[in-house]
Amino acid sequence: MSPFEAQKQSRPSAEPKFRYQRKARTIPDRGLLITFEGIDGSGKSTQALLLAEHLESCGLPVRLLREPTQGVFGRKIRALASAGREQLNPEQELRLFVNDRLQDVLRNIRPALRQRRVVVLDRYYLSTVCYQGELGLDAERIRRANESFAPRPDLILMLDLPVPEALRRIVELRQDRLNLFEHAEYLERVRARFLALPDPNIAVLDASRPAAQLAAAVRERVGPLIDAHMVC
Domains located in the chain, CATH noted: 27-229 (3.40.50.300)
How far is residue 72 from each of residues 12, 75, 82, 104, measured CA to CA in Å? 31, 5, 16, 11
Q: Check pLDDT > 60 for residue 21.
A: no
Specify the pLDDT at position 231. Answer: 54
Q: Does the pLDDT of residue 230 top 90, yes or no?
A: no
pLDDT at position 228, please?
86
Residue 19 has pLDDT above 70, yes or no: no
pTM comes to: 0.86
How high is the pLDDT of residue 182? Answer: 62
Long-range contacts of 56-59 (CB under 8 A, 24+ apart): 57/13, 57/15, 57/17, 58/17, 58/18, 58/20, 58/21, 58/25, 59/21, 59/25
pLDDT of residue 14: 42
How far is residue 186 from each of residues 74, 178, 181, 196, measured CA to CA in Å? 21, 12, 8, 16
pLDDT tens-place string over residues 85-128: 667 899 999 999 999 999 999 999 999 999 999 999 999 999 99
Alpha carbon distance, N-terminus to C-terminus of the chain:
32
pLDDT of residue 57: 94
Per-residue model confidence (pLDDT) at position 179 = 55
Could you report the per-residue pLDDT of 28-75, keeping only the tens digit for each? 568 999 999 999 999 999 999 999 999 999 999 999 999 999 999 999
Q: Exposed/middle/buried for 218, CB within 10 Å: 0-12, 13-18, 19+?
A: buried
| pLDDT number for residue 12 | 40
Phi and psi at 52, nearest 5°, equal -60, -45
Q: Residue 52: is it exposed, middle or buried by C-beta count within 10 angstroms (0-12/13-18/19+)?
A: buried
Closest Cα partner for 120 from 56, 41, 188, 71? 56
